[in-house]
Amino acid sequence: MIYAIDENAQAKAPGPGGWRLEHSYAALPAVLHVAVGPTAVRAPRVVAWNRTLAEELGLDAEGLAGADGGGGAGAEIFAGNVLPPGSAPLAQAYAGHQYGHFTTLGDGRAILLGEQITPRGERFDVQLKGAGPTPFSRRGDGRATLGAMMREYVISEAMHALGIPTTRSLAVVATGEEVWRQDGARPGAVLTRVAASHIRVGTFEWVAARRDEAALRALVAYTVQRHYPERAGAENLPLALLEGVGERQARLMAQWMGVGFVHGVMNTDNMALSGETIDYGPCAFMEAYDPATVFSSIDRDGRYAYGNQPQIAQWNIARLAEALLTVLHPQEEQAIALANGVIGRFGEGFQRHWLAGMRRKLGLFNEEPEDGALVEALLAWMHATKADFTNTWAELETLAAGAEGELGVWRARWQARLARQPQGAEEAGRLRRANCPAVIPRNHRVEEALAAAEQGEVGVMERLLAVLAAPYDHARAGAADVAEYRGPAADGGEGYRTFCGT
């Protein structure tokens, strides 16, 4: 074997700061990565520190951070000025279909330090984003703005609290340097991102484009071992991987759709094979329900609109299948048939997960054939009335009580449906509250926090994060200090746009 995942790494004593870094990805063929270190910054200062995540990773949360106060050892490490013990920094190579067009990419501003082994034996990539140029920077500066990195910190931690698989954010360090973008000079920052891995659809596209079958088979075996060990004994390992990825992505899309999340840039280099949400550039949360909702300033044709996300995920799975064709089966016709079988089942898998999620949001424990129509009727009413997606679901009982017209007719259908299940109203209510968030990262609140952070005031962001940490706590959501975060922008968010930050 040309790589090895050390299953006994947990037993090894951690180094200073609690670091226990492994480097199984670095043992993969050289076509997949290049060694490169971070570029030091002038005046690092920690502006966001995820103490809870640090402890989960087995790190010395107290000793590393100076974090709560700004400077110290943590700032130097999370800026890339000092490497943690055991680091072997590298940039990963990958390609991607960006807005449907194939291009070669790679980590142009991100550097993988290694894989932290947690006290529970779990393995997570620790990556510095905005840590300086790499061989893949394509004349870019390799840096990131404070606003963009804080956006990723806030949204990724909100997604985690919502129970949606996601990369996590450990720290954001202001660099003390300016970063120049189209809108002028902005404060620079480095984000420490934690992920199950950074293996993407585009990673496989990179190898396939080089017609390196040995490297492709090694990558397949590694990815299965790392993310789908239950499939490791499959007779056709590439097919088992494709099926596993398809199933996880179908579930992830259903989860996104259930909370109104719009990723904004679903290029194949932004689809992680682990099944996690990755890359929070122009993302945002839909407020008034409209399947055509787009926030990204560069998505002028609505390719990645809210309602298109399941179809785009299926399209991305098709690109993964193309990359795997040469190893799916020695006969091309058979390989294509196997690939098409997986691609064709994606829609069914998504619909199954989506409807299961919608049933929970309605308080339904069992299944009836007309449940899908019941959900679609409510969504049609939301669309026609421009109802707030999150608040409609969260307050459905109150909103529908005594309603007349279309909503009143729908409520009668819903109540009749609830009456046909053995569980009572109290149990149905508990199920609904556990699946309908009372709070989400409202776009104007996120912008407010980012603007304050760029001016050196992080208290606004800290208050927002505290609210977002318990999205399903409906009792707490009624408190005055939380209720103010529940409403949409005064102008309804009309014309709100996001930017990728590169």
Residues with active-site annotation: 269
Residues 6+ apart with CB under 8 A from 272: 167, 195, 196, 197, 198, 199, 200, 278
Q: Give one DSSP letter per residue of 3-44, joined into a string.
A: ----TTGGGSPP-GGG--EE-TGGGS-GGGEEE-PPPP-SS-
Q: Which two tokens stand for residue 392?
A: 């409609």
Q: With contact defined as beta carbons under 8 Å apart, do 109 and 137 qualify? A: yes
Q: 445 burial class (0-12, 13-18, 19+ CB within 10 angstroms)?
A: buried
Phi-psi region of 423 (alpha: psi -120 to 50; beta: other; left: phi over 0): beta
Q: Which of 69, 87, 196 is nearest to 131 (CA)?
A: 87
CA 421 to chain centre: 35
3 state SS for 51-71:
HHHHHHCCCCHHHHHCCCCCC
Going 122 to 276 to 82 to 51, the CA torsion angle's sign is negative
CA angle 347, 100, 239 (to 5 degrees): 45
- Identify residue 56 by its one-letter amino acid code: E
Q: With contact defined as beta carbons under 8 Å apart, do 461 and 150 qualify? A: yes
DSSP three-state, residue 272: strand
Backbone angles phi, psi at 418, to 5 degrees: -60, -35
In the 8-state DSSP scheme, what is residue 436? S
Q: How far is CA 445 from CA 43, 285, 361, 391, in A?
A: 28, 11, 25, 16
Query: Where does 162-212 have alpha helices with state H?
Result: 201-209
Rounded to a whole number of angstroms, the distance between the first and last alpha carbons of the chain is 38
- Identify residue 224 by its one-letter amino acid code: V
Could you give the CA distance from residue 1 to residue 269 in angstroms, rounded to a whole number?
27
Residues belonging to the chain? 502
Q: Which two tokens stand for residue 21?
A: 């870094």
